[in-house]
A = this chain, B = another copy of it.
């Protein structure tokens, strides 16, 4: 493992910590519990603006300096956060114009968080001042090993529609389009007489009797995301002037962000998520996708619960005993350097009192305490092997794009949810034993052999160019379904159904239409499945070949899967989604077929619910085998192996994996 800059070569185990909410005298007890549990890093400050600056301009970091000093003296590091998700009351008192305004025109109020428009100039000024004060005060503190900007951007809010945003929107449009006629043409704004005379007339997506123009909707999403990224840049720039510690942001795949822009100026990836123990696959897909934000660098699980998440109106069931250990082990094995809980001590107030913690509000161990001890034991057991080895990434990826998700928000067709669709693709391949991950579309794809790009309505030119290079270098690119249907302006291409990709793939879209429930069946590679969602059905041109053909429905006989050799690789078009169980089987067969052709290395075989994570060290490759589902299972060993923890030899054949067991085997 190549540790993150400013960090030690070790595995970190952490927790979110809110000393500002408790009597300072309680810190001593916390320190004792930190030691007992092995927690060696805390994240602090992200909601503490009113502690740092109780009255406008009265800033003091003394409290946090004292805390960080004490932590540092006890061997506990700190990740320090900017507190901008929770503006104090003095920032909005008497200033309703600073509040976030939703698409129904309703202003938010003080009382929760993210209630202020992050584009508001007064907010921005106060943000710069507080971040400057933090960085200046603690930027060189040896206990501060990293910074986090804000927290969970956009976790509660979508696009603000206040008048500040209106002005910025008009500026952004002018920068993007130059002239309003360019915008009118790009958006097809003559439709429904939407045509604008001036940029300042272009509405925000406030309510209308029916829906807004798709181009406007998608553009507003991009505008909002760009503004948020710009806001973060301001903070990062300030921090860097006073600190060498690496900077991250705590993101989540469910929030409406452009993670490409958010992570570009950052040093490492971190995220939070809270799937319950039955949704362990979601945690694994997180490990993959967040690793790809900064390839080659360890990532952090910045927040996850010790047992269950919750707030006033809902909560999860606690993890089963044993799960937390394997969740953490899978993180470390997949490339995490840090694994951190939310939160240390149960909230006594606010709205998250029911969220699991390490200690209860009355300072006693919770049901999450013993699992934390178990995680720490596991960490100590595997740490030396982990830090001297590296995660070996899979050779198959499903490309994930926040921009594609934005397009689908605008145009959901049949209530399609991009995130769910991606996770289903991931689960389809994962459960077939194909070594794969979700990977951000902006990541570096060298090292992969097969890439799947479903549901990317618009394929940006920059992405297309990288894919073409990937294919020409020998990669296999499986394209679709629903990929390439729209232009960058969220309009329909007027040259052919899927734009440039048709030329590259040697196909022509003959018909493009919704195929769900039309009776159409796809046949390919010995599989047969109904087809669903929007379909692009093809005729082959030139040297491309039909791989799958449609039977029945309104357009029988056309191709829905084609294959074209390009350079040393190939482009496979998938024109419609195979549906149901048969559809899953068809996708598995298809990807397995190309994985085999591409020489993808397969992992050890396991029963469903047991996974093997590959790592390499100086001696070669070894596997972290984990039973994730708590039901037990087995791993097929093709040859005798060594158990790296015990040093014992394991015979070839089926290695039993009891519930939540793990083995490091070579």
Give chain A's interface residues, CB within 8 Å of chain B.
Answer: 18, 20-21, 47-51, 54-55, 83, 86-90, 93, 100, 104-115, 156-157, 187-197, 201, 203-216, 307-308, 310-321, 346-351, 353-354, 356, 360-363, 366-367, 410-415, 486, 489-497, 511-519, 534, 554-555
B497/A360 in contact, CB under 8 A: yes
Please, which residues of chain B bring their CB within 8 A of the CB of A512? 360, 366
Knowing A211-B311, A346-B492, the reply to whether A203 touches B351 (Cβ < 8 A) is: no
Residues of B within 8 A of A189 (CB): 349
Q: Which of chain B's residues have a CB closer than 8 A to the CB of A156?
A: 209-210
Kindly state the separation between the CA atoms of A287 and B496 in the bound complex, as whole angstroms: 37
B207 contacts A108, C-beta separation under 8 Å: yes
Measured between beta carbons, the chain B residues less than 8 angstroms from A88 are 193, 195
A360-B497, A412-B313, A514-B315 as given contacts; A113 in contact with B307, CB under 8 Å: no
Asked if B50 and A367 sit within 8 Å, CB to CB, the answer is no
- In whole angstroms, how far apart are the Cα atoms of A490 and B352 in the complex? 12
Q: Kindly state the separation between the CA atoms of A47 and B193 in the bound complex, as whole angstroms.
A: 6
Residue numbers in B under 8 Å from A51 (CB-CB):
190, 193
Is the CB–CB distance between B315 and A351 below 8 Å? no
A516-B208 contact, Cβ under 8 Å, with A191-B347, A193-B88, A367-B511? no
Residue among A86, A100, A205 facing the most chain B CB atoms (10 A cut-off) = A86
Contacts known (A108-B209, A312-B211, A350-B213); A496 close to B555, Cβ less than 8 A = no
User: Which residues of chain B are near A319, meaning CB under 8 Å?
Assistant: 554
Contact A313 B513 (CB under 8 A): no
Closest residue of B by beta carbon distance from A154: B209
B89 touches A320 (CB 8 A): no
Q: Chain B residues near A414: list those with CB within 8 A.
A: 314-315
**Assembled-state Cα–Cα distance A88/B490 (Å):** 22
Q: Which residue of B lies closest to A83 (CB)?
A: B193
Interface pairs A-B: 6 shortest CB-CB: A188-B349, A50-B193, A156-B209, A112-B208, A361-B492, A86-B193
Contact partners of A353 in chain B: CB under 8 A: 214, 411, 486, 491-492
A504 → chain B, closest Cβ, in Å?
17
Interface secondary structure of A, over-half rule: loop
Q: Which residues of B contact A107 (CB under 8 A)?
A: 105
| A269 CB → nearest B CB, Å | 25
Asked whether A190 lies within 8 Å of B320 as measured between CB atoms, the reply is: no
Query: Looking at the complex, which one of B192, B320, B490 makes contact with A47 (CB distance below 8 Å)?
Result: B192
Q: Which residue of B112, B191, B354, B491 is within 8 Å of A209 (Cβ)?
A: B112
Asked whether A203 and B111 contact (CB < 8 A) given A313-B411, A414-B314, the answer is yes
Asked if residues B366 and A511 are in contact (CB atoms below 8 Å), the reply is yes
The closest CB in chain B to the CB of A211 belongs to B351
Q: Are A112 and B308 in contact (CB-based, < 8 A)?
A: no
Residues of B contacting A106 with CB < 8 Å?
104-105, 207
In the bound complex, how far is the Cα of B545 from the Cα of A196, in angstroms? Answer: 69
Point out the residues of chain B lying under 8 angstroms from A413, CB to CB: 312-315, 354
Could you pull out 30 A-B pairs where Cβ atoms are within 8 angstroms? A18-B191, A21-B191, A47-B191, A48-B193, A83-B193, A88-B193, A93-B197, A104-B106, A105-B106, A108-B209, A109-B207, A109-B208, A112-B210, A115-B209, A157-B209, A188-B349, A214-B312, A214-B349, A313-B413, A314-B413, A315-B413, A315-B414, A315-B514, A317-B516, A317-B517, A319-B554, A346-B492, A361-B494, A363-B494, A367-B511
Partner of A115, one of B114, B208, B412: B208
Report Cα–Cα, A111/B207, bound state, in Å.
Answer: 9
A610 to B21 Cα, complex, angstroms: 56
Give bound CA distance, A157 to B113, whole Å: 27
A49 to B495, CA, bound (A): 28
Q: Return chain B residues, CB-CB under 8 Å to A203.
A: 109-111
Nearest opposing residue in chain B for A349, CB measure: B188
Given contacts A86-B193, A113-B192, 6 further A-B contacts (CB under 8 A): A109-B206, A114-B210, A312-B411, A318-B518, A321-B554, A353-B411
Determine if B193 and A495 form an interchain contact, defined as CB atoms under 8 angstroms apart: no
CB distance from A519 to the nearest CB of B (A): 8
A5–B321 alpha-carbon span in the complex (Å)? 64
Highest count of chain B CB atoms <10 Å: which of A108, A191, A310, A360: A191
Chain B min CB distance to A223 (Å): 15
CA distance A315 to B413 in the complex (A): 7
Docked-complex contact B112 and A307, CB < 8 angstroms: no
Q: Are A494 and B210 in contact (CB under 8 A)?
A: no
Considering only CB atoms, which chain B residue lies closest to A116 in the complex?
Answer: B209
Instruction: Name which residue of chain B comes closest to A215, CB basis.
Output: B349
Assess the A112–B362 pair: CB atoms within 8 A. Answer: no
**Across-interface contacts of A209 in B (CB, < 8 A):** 100, 108, 112-115, 156-157
Closest B residue to A113 using CB positions? B192
Q: How far is B415's CA from A357's CA once the two chains are assembled, in angstroms?
A: 22
Given A206-B109, A209-B112, A209-B114; A514-B310 close (CB under 8 Å):
yes
Q: Which of B49, B211, B493, B554 contacts A313 (CB 8 A)?
A: B211
Residues of B within 8 Å of A108, CB to CB, are 207-209
Decide: B49 and A193 in contact? CB cutoff 8 A. Answer: yes
CB contacts (< 8 Å) of A112 on chain B: these are 192, 208-213
Q: Chain B residues with Cβ under 8 A from A515's Cβ? A: 317
Question: Which chain B positions have C-beta within 8 A of A410?
Answer: 312
Instruction: Count chain B CB atoms within 10 A of each CB in A90, A350, A360, A493 and give the residue with the most.
Output: A350
Question: Whose C-beta in chain B lies nearest to the C-beta of A366?
Answer: B511
Contact between A348 and B212 (Cβ–Cβ < 8 Å)?
Answer: no
